[in-house]
Structures are given as structure tokens and as C-alpha cells.
Amino acid sequence: MMRKLFAEFFGTFWLVFGGCGSAVLAAAYPELGIGFVGVSLAFGLTVLTMAYAVGGISGGHFNPAVSLGLAVAKRFSWSELIPYWAAQVIGAFCAAGMLFLIASGAADWSGAGGFASNGYGELSPGGYSMHAALIAEVVLTAMFLIIILGSTSAKAPAGFAPIAIGLGLTLIHLISIPVTNTSVNPARSTGVAFYAETAAVPQLWLFWVAPLIGAAIGALIWTLLLAPDDGVES
């Protein structure tokens, strides 16, 4: 169990450090900034690389919503859910703290600002409302779970699941960075929110509620409509 929790810690650490790090350090870098596309790809690559690196140990969740969805789909034990959530959130906090130390060392540092946090209304990159953010996070997390469950099912080509999942997360970011700065992951949202100099923390509730609801919906869609005889484990 400890090996699983360490795998989830390091996997979530890498997701936040790599994904949010690309947004904080490189997205708007003068003349060479990677922009939305680069940040989207960075998040996908973090999941892809860690799924191959430690996915065989813990299942490669790196996301409380994914853990919940897999439990709903009977691919993951409910008794391990809270320990996984704890490891994921701690990994996200540690990554955000490391990023803060690096970012604050820049010669032109003037404060953390939004620090790659998620938000709606005034904190949405495109000024999207709370209900728009809620719908986007629910729908995109549901689709993410369908991608995960489908690509890891017994009938899917073996060995390619991390690629599908990583590219799926990339696409999700390409769609929703303007809406919420993309969460679909409560741990990712929590880790950076407490370093942001905005009202990210009061809005954090949405980035737990929406992804968890979306994950449960996605798991139910897969289990009941797409793969009722998938041979899942209880």
C-alpha cells in the first residue's frame, strides 16, 4: 500500500510541477512563450510519462476524481480512496511549493498572481460564469473517465492507454483553459490555490464538486451503456 501511495504522490507531484510549472514559468515567456497549446501538451505529457513510470504500481490515477470514477466503475477499491486522495493532494501541495520557490527566484518577480490556479467569473481567463465553469468541468471530467476506462479495458489494445489518456488530457486543456484554466483534478486545483494572490481558495469548492460529479457520471456511462460486460473487478 505504501508503494501505491508513494507512486500517487510522485505522479501527482509531476503533474502539478510539469503542468502548472509550464503555465507559471514558460507560458508567457518573452518571445518564446509556449502559450495555451504548450501548457495543454505539458499536462498531457506529465500524465503520459508517469502512467508509464508508476502506473503499474498504483494504477496511475494522480487525480481524486479519477480515483472516485474508477471506484464507481468497480475498477478500484473504495477502502483505498481516502488514502489515495491524501497522497494526491499532498503531492500537489509539495509541487506547488517547489514551483513557488523557483518562480520567486526570478529577477523580475512581482508576486505569485494567479499562479496557474483555477477560477470562474473574474478569475476565469475568458471571464466565463460559474455555471459555465461548472458545466465545462463536469462534462470534461466525465469524458476523461470514459477515455480512461475505455483505453484500459480488456478489449482495448494493450500498452497504449497512457498515450490515449495523455492526449485526452491535452485535448481537455485545449478546450477549457479559457473557461476555468482547466482543472478536472481537485488535487491540481488545491495545490496551487493557496499560493495564488487571488480569490482562488473561496472558489475551490467548484473544482472539487464538479470533477467528482463528472467522474461519477463518466464511470456510470461507461459501466451501464458502453461496457456492461467489461469484466471489471470489485
In what helix (H) or strand (E) does residue 144 lie, and over which residues does it extend? helix 130-151
Q: What pLDDT is attached to residue 227?
A: 79
pLDDT in tens, 1-24: 999 999 999 999 999 999 999 999
Reduce the DSSP state of residue 211 to 3 states and report it. helix
Report the half-sphere exposure of 45 (CA within 13 A, side-chain side): 12
Q: What pLDDT is attached to residue 229?
A: 67
Q: What pLDDT is attached to residue 233?
A: 46
**Opening angle at CA 229, ends 166 and 1, nearest 5:** 55
The size of the chain, in residues, is 234
Report the half-sphere exposure of 231 (CA within 13 A, side-chain side): 5
Which parts of the chain sit beneath pLDDT 70?
228-234
Q: What pLDDT is attached to residue 164?
A: 97
- The closest of 144, 234, 221 to 185, measured between CA atoms, is 144
Q: What pLDDT is attached to residue 30?
A: 80
- CATH numbers and ranges of domains, the chain: 2-226 (1.20.1080.10)
Q: What pLDDT is attached to residue 142?
A: 98
Distance from C-alpha of 182 to C-alpha of 223, rounded to nearest angstrom: 26
DSSP string, 62-77: -SHHHHHHHHHTTSS-
For residue 29, give every residue at least 6 positions away whose Cβ sits within 8 Å of its Cβ, in sequence order, or none.
none
Contact 15, 185 (CB under 8 A): yes
Residue type at position 201:
V
